[in-house]
A and B are shown apart, each in its own frame.
Chain A
């Protein structure tokens, strides 16, 4: 039998429909592939054979658009009874008593939830997957390199064909940047498009769940299933979900696409720049009208983000105090001593750094100077987008200023690590949808991602542009040698 693990969900759905294969065949293939390559890639955490024993392998899955398709889940999305710990010691042993809305929707669509979770930076704090209590995942295109983050395990599992498709979460680029580093498709939907109920919160005004897939069609397929209004999430938008497959027409003639000059300046790696500009030329040759645009407040995105995101995180992570969830240090004096000892030992270095920074910018005397100012500059960044989207359908940029860097290279320099999200953060601050698709390779054979952004709730424009590009280029068909 051919290697089913290397196929897309839409191809597998076709084969299942024609009864060429049974759902159990796909799971067997994924299982064998995980055993074969995960010791090198380490995309999954807490993996054991026993985890797979409970998987339904019957030939009778729930009917639906993802019937019989296994989906891999990031370790910060709650799965009923299945360990979920945000790759943090502080949630060691935590088993959620309920399913996140996205998990419920996947199950109702017939998908099979892969019972081991994908690796991530602790609480999604990071851009390299190195801040995991389980250790880093490795990039399938170069095992000495990072897979990006924070949804690094999700991206690496799809790239290494250890998964058909995966869910990740994106607060400042955590789906798109690892997708770019691993050569897969990663989508951050519009804020409010997908319910956050059951996503363990990092920054509530920025977080969105989205798919990491092998091609654009699968991205549209998974988004169709997980989108929609949810009464359990007060910030989920009551906006109708279109049939995204309609956007995969391949025709982008006359589509208005802008490239912001502020994204092609110092700091952008020369090879990444070259590959990105070639991709933009490709879009032009396919009939898009491409123009240079300006997003003048781009330079403020990273500083605004590190105030807003850490402030929200410091508040969200206050709940992990040794009372409700699994991990507690018992040898401390009194209640406050127990809180401090539990949090001091349970959180890793980056989590501590962000909680302390967030507490600092919200503390008495600093609130106006940092937090309130950041919220005002956030308005300016949003207005930049509102203005250009009056004329444009899409914006294209590099996803990250470099290809995957080496493991360990940026761990002692948090600021340098933060700058690897410089092109992805604005979409979260403005709440707009954005996708990263493979657009070529560096001389070292490392994948480069093209980021496309659109106005709120116009994921169709992203799918339209990215599908047309993908179908006219070979990048999404290339596989790493493992």
Chain B
């Protein structure tokens, strides 16, 4: 990827990314959002000045690798409690709009 490509953010891009994020955006908001995201990304481009040669990424600051526990049987939420907040429930399941015809 060339540096030139990085900061380009168009309304089309925003629309596509909004689709990936499963987010409906109103047509009036699209140009405003594209403009604001461009400003933010221009600002973020400052990171190109940092010398990261040979630097390892930090995704997490604690020296934790894997955290395992004994595989013991314990109680958990009942399905009734787990479903209590669902906008649609059918029996012991979350209800969703039809996926397969």
Q: Size range of the interface on A?
A: 35 or more
- Point out the residues of chain B lying under 8 angstroms from A332, CB to CB: 97
A297 in contact with B50 (CB, 8 Å) = yes
Q: Which one, A28-36, A353-361, A400-408, A438-446, is touching chain B? A: A353-361
Contact A93 B85 (CB under 8 A): yes
Shortest C-beta distance, B85 to chain A (Å), equals 5
Cα A326 to Cα B86 with chains together (Å): 5
A352 touches B62 (CB 8 A): no
B91 CB-CB contact with A under 8 Å: no
In the assembled complex, the Cα of A353 lies from the Cα of B52 at a distance in Å of 28
Of the four ranges (under 10, 10 to 19, 20 to 34, 35 or more), the interface on chain B belongs to: 35 or more
Chain A residues in 8 Å Cβ range of B9: 360
**A356/B33 contact (C-beta < 8 A), A323-B94, A339-B22, A344-B23 known:** yes
Rounded to whole Å, the gap between the CB of A192 and the closest CB of chain B is: 5
- Chain B CB within 8 A of A196 CB: no
CA distance A322 to B86 in the complex (A): 8
Q: Which of chain B's residues have a CB closer than 8 A to the CB of A324?
A: 85-86, 94
Could you say which of B6, B22, B45, B62 has the most chain A C-beta atoms within 10 Å of its C-beta? B22
**B51: nearest chain-A partner, CB-CB:** A380
| Chain B minimum-CB-distance residue to A337 | B97
Which residues of A are found within 8 Å of B46, using beta-carbon distances?
Answer: 299-300, 303
Query: Does chain B have a CB within 8 A of A338?
Result: yes
Say yes or no for B73: interface residue by CB 8 A criterion. no
Report the Cα distance A319→B20, complex, angstroms.
Answer: 14
Within 8 A of A (CB), among B49-77: 50, 52, 55-62, 64, 67, 69, 77
User: Which residues of chain B are near A265, meaning CB under 8 Å?
Assistant: none
Q: How far is the CA of A234 from the CA of B19 in the complex (A)?
A: 32
A477 on the B face (CB < 8 A): no
Chain A residues near B85 (CB, 8 Å)?
Answer: 93-95, 97, 324-326
Q: Is the CB of A376 within 8 A of B97?
A: no
Interface SS of B by simple majority: loop
Within A309-338, the residues touching B (CB, 8 Å) are 314, 318, 321-328, 330, 332, 334-338
| Complex Cα gap A359–B58 (Å) | 19
Is A57 part of the contact surface with B, judged by Cβ < 8 Å?
no
The answer to whether A356 and B22 touch (CB under 8 A), given A231-B69, A369-B1, is no
Please, which residue of chain A has its CB at the minimum distance from the CB of B50?
A377
CB <8 Å contact, B25 and A344: yes
Q: Is the CB of B62 within 8 A of A376?
A: no
Residues of B within 8 A of A94 (CB): 85
The interface residues of chain B lying within 8 Å CB-to-CB of A321 are 22
Q: A328-B87, A335-B96, A344-B24 are in contact. Are A357 and B40 (CB under 8 A)?
A: yes
Given that A334-B98, A359-B17, A363-B17 are contacting pairs, would A340 and B52 also be in contact in the complex, using a CB cutoff of 8 Å? no
Residues of A within 8 A of B48 (CB): 373
Which chain A positions have C-beta within 8 A of B47?
300, 303-304, 307, 373-374, 377
Complex interface: chain A residues within 8 A of B82 (CB): 97
With a CB–CB cut-off of 8 A, which chain B residues contact A339?
A: 22
Q: Which of B4-50 contact A (CB under 8 A)?
A: 6, 9, 13-14, 17-26, 29, 33, 36-37, 39-41, 43-48, 50
Bound Cα distance A355, B96 (Å): 23
Q: Which of B22, B41, B58, B86 contacts A378 (CB 8 A)?
A: B58
Contact B55 A376 (CB under 8 A): yes
Rounded to whole Å, the gap between the CB of A85 and the closest CB of chain B is: 11
Q: Min CB distance, B73 to chain A, in Å?
A: 15
Tell me, yes or no, whether A341 is within 8 Å of chain B by CB.
yes
Chain B, residue nearest A373 (CB): B47
Instruction: Provide the residues of chain B in CB contact with A47, threshold 8 Å.
Output: none
Nearest neighbor of B67 in chain A, beta-carbon distance: A234
CA A368 to CA B99, docked complex, whole Å: 35
Contact A375 B96 (CB under 8 A): no
Interface string of B77-101 (1 = CB under 8 A from A): 1000110111110000010111100
Residues of B within 8 A of A (CB): 1, 6, 9, 13-14, 17-26, 29, 33, 36-37, 39-41, 43-48, 50, 52, 55-62, 64, 67, 69, 77, 81-82, 84-88, 94, 96-99
Q: A343-B23, A380-B50 are in contact. List 16 more A-B contacts (CB 8 A).
A: A93-B85, A97-B81, A97-B82, A97-B85, A191-B61, A235-B60, A323-B87, A324-B86, A340-B24, A353-B36, A359-B20, A359-B21, A363-B20, A373-B50, A375-B59, A415-B43
- Please name 10 pairs of A and B residues whose Cβ atoms are closer than 8 Å in the assembled complex, sorted by A: A192-B62, A297-B50, A303-B46, A321-B22, A345-B24, A352-B23, A352-B25, A356-B37, A377-B55, A414-B36
